């Protein structure tokens, strides 16, 4: 099965936004074993849209079309596809009722344009939109399948998520994402080489993200229970091999896991940041509810600050420099006392581009202080990218916390 992803919208052609929908949909289709051969972007223009869709009909089996389902005059996707298929447009009553109910909460009645959003192509399966007003739809003809989705990424993703199981056929498709930190994509691929090469159903696909790797496992079966059992088995095989790098599922992030694990263990947390300059704290406080675990961070970007705020001794800084194991320990213990927390992380290092401390650029010390004592991780990163050194350091600190709180590897939760 070959697919083309068509995005409709002049804002894309003007460079106002990037076509991130195409990336998302490509990954989804790859997951389901469908080859994407083309992406196309076309403006809100009836003639050019017709031409683009006609060409796609000639070269692929599945057309996924995003955008142009809204209420404005420019929104032409449904009309163009209906005309090409010689089908009519009909009101979908549930969609109509949802629009009416929404407008009622605003004290308004429906205009003709707003009504347009409830129209679906004759014979289409409606894809309920739980994040907006315009539903998506799937249309089958003898030769092709057409999936029409809204252009707003949040709505498009929600529809895919809600209809993932059966959108592409009668089989149930279930997918699960495992997240790993501290192992590169190629090292993970080496460790799992046989599995990745031979796994067809369930399949395994690795995706590298910033200093992380996620594995997407996808199973097809006739019923949900079987698909989930297939995923469980494969997950167990993978975690037996590389479980030590595993930290969570799906869209979970490292700081979310840190906060959850601290919360479950009844532990409070603080930090002292030199190198990372507030990025460790910022990552945690981005997450709502962080304040029941996280008390704060002393960002100390100068020796004076390390001395005044954290009580690091001037003699220690003179003897060891700010980038040293000893200063990392003093910072972590200083933060733990100052913020009165169970755990405290300290990060100090040399991010470059040139070294102020005399230490090699890329050298980082991450200390973790707790009642039982303070331990230090010495990390060495390639020196070429200041931002990357800072980002990796923050993530290494989160991972050090997760490992410390859990001691043994986490169990399969499902």
Q: Which residues bind its own copies (CB under 8 A)?
A: 7, 12-20, 22-30, 35-43, 48, 52, 55, 207, 270-271, 273, 276-282, 284-286, 288, 290-291, 294-302, 304-305, 308-309, 338-340, 352-353, 356, 386-387, 390
Question: Nearest distance from residue 244's CB to its own copies, in Å?
Answer: 26
Residue number with CB closer to its own copies (19 or 324): 19
Residues paired with 173 in a beta bridge: 220
> What does the block give as tokens for 386?
């200041």
The distance of closest approach from Cβ of residue 52 to its own copies in the complex, given in angstroms and rounded to an integer, is 8
The residue whose two tokens read 């694990």 is 261
Q: Which residues pair with 273 in a beta bridge?
A: 299, 347
| 153: phi then psi, degrees, rounded to nearest 5 | -55, -40
Q: Given the structure tokens 């092709």, which residue do they identify?
A: 144
Tokens of 103: 């407008």
Q: Tell the smallest beta-carbon distance from residue 193 to its own copies (Å).
A: 19
Distance of alpha carbon 256 from alpha carbon 270, whole angstroms: 15
Which is nearer to its own copies, 193 or 208 (by Cβ)? 208
Neighbours of 382 (CB within 10 A): 10
Nearer to its own copies, 245 or 339 (CB): 339
Residue 151 Cβ vs its own copies, minimum distance, rounded to whole Å:
14
CA distance 118 to 69: 9
- Work out how close the CB of 280 gets to its own copies at its nearest, in angstroms, rounded to a whole number: 7
SS3 199: coil
Between 119 and 397, CB nearer to its own copies: 397
CB 381 within 8 A of CB 365: no
CA-to-CA distance for 413 and 243, rounded, in angstroms? Answer: 13
We find the least distance from the C-beta atom of residue 66 to its own copies, in angstroms, to be 13
DSSP secondary structure code for residue 357 in this structure: S
- Is 120 or 147 the residue whose CB approaches its own copies more closely? 147
CA angle 8, 9, 12 (to 5 degrees): 115
Are 179 and 206 in contact by the 8 Å Cβ rule? The answer is no
Q: Closer CB to its own copies, residue 8 or residue 379?
A: 8
Q: Rounded to the nearest whole angstrom, what is the least distance from the CB of residue 20 to its own copies in the complex?
A: 5
Q: In whole angstroms, how close is the CB of 273 to its own copies at the nearest point?
A: 8
74 vs 7, 44, 113, 121, 334, CA distance in Å? 14, 6, 11, 18, 61
Residues 6 or more apart whose Cβ sits within 8 Å of residue 76: 8, 44, 46, 49, 68
35 versus 229: smaller Cβ distance to its own copies: 35
CB-CB contact of 138 with 127 (8 Å): yes
Beta carbon nearer to its own copies, 170 or 288: 288
Q: Tokens standing for 163? A: 């209809």
Nearer to its own copies, 124 or 299 (CB): 299
Taking the complex as a whole, the smallest distance from the CB of residue 50 to its own copies amounts, in Å, to 13
Nearer to its own copies by C-beta: 23 or 113? 23
Measure Cα distances from 163 to 4, 168, 182, 244, 249 in Å: 19, 9, 34, 33, 20
CB of 7 vs its own copies, minimal distance in Å? 8
């Amino acid at each position: 099965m070959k697919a083309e992803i068509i995005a409709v919208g002049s804002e894309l052609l003007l460079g106002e936004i990037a076509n991130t929908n195409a990336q998302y949909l490509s990954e989804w289709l790859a997951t389901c074993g469908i080859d994407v051969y083309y992406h196309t972007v076309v403006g809100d223009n009836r003639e050019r849209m017709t031409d683009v869709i006609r060409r796609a009909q000639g070269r692929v089996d599945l057309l996924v079309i995003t955008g142009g389902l809204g209420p404005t005059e420019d929104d032409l996707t449904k009309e163009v596809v209906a005309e090409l298929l010689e089908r009519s447009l009909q009101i979908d009553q549930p969609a109509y009722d949802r629009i009416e109910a929404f407008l009622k909460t605003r004290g308004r009645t429906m205009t003709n344009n707003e009504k347009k959003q409830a129209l679906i192509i004759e014979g289409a399966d409606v894809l309920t939109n739980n994040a907006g007003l315009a539903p998506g739809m799937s249309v089958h003809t003898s030769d092709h399948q057409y999936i029409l989705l809204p252009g707003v990424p949040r709505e498009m993703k929600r529809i895919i998520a809600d209809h993932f199981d059966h959108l592409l056929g009668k089989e149930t498709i279930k997918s699960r994402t495992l997240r790993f930190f501290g192992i590169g994509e190629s090292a993970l691929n080496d460790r799992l080489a046989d599995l990745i090469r031979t796994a067809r159903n369930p399949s395994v696909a690795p995706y590298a993200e910033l200093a992380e790797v996620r594995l997407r496992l996808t199973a097809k079966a006739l019923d949900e229970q079987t698909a989930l059992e297939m995923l469980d088995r494969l997950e167990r095989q993978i975690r037996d091999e590389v479980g030590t790098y595993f930290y969570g599922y799906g869209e979970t992030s490292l700081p979310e896991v840190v906060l959850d694990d601290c919360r479950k263990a009844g532990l409070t947390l603080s930090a002292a940041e030199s190198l990372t300059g507030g990025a460790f704290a910022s990552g945690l406080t981005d997450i709502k509810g962080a304040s029941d675990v996280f008390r704060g961070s002393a960002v100390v970007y100068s020796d004076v600050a390390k001395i005044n705020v954290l009580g690091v001794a001037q003699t220690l800084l003179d003897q060891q420099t700010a980038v040293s194991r000893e200063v990392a320990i003093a910072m972590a213990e200083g933060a733990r006392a100052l913020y009165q927390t169970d755990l405290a992380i300290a990060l100090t290092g040399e991010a470059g581009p040139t070294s102020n401390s005399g230490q090699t650029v890329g050298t980082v010390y991450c200390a973790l202080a707790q009642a039982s004592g303070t331990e230090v991780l010495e990390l060495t990163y390639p020196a070429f990218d200041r931002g990357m050194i800072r980002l990796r350091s923050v993530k290494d600190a989160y991972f050090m916390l997760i490992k410390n709180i859990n001691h043994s590897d986490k169990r399969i939760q499902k």
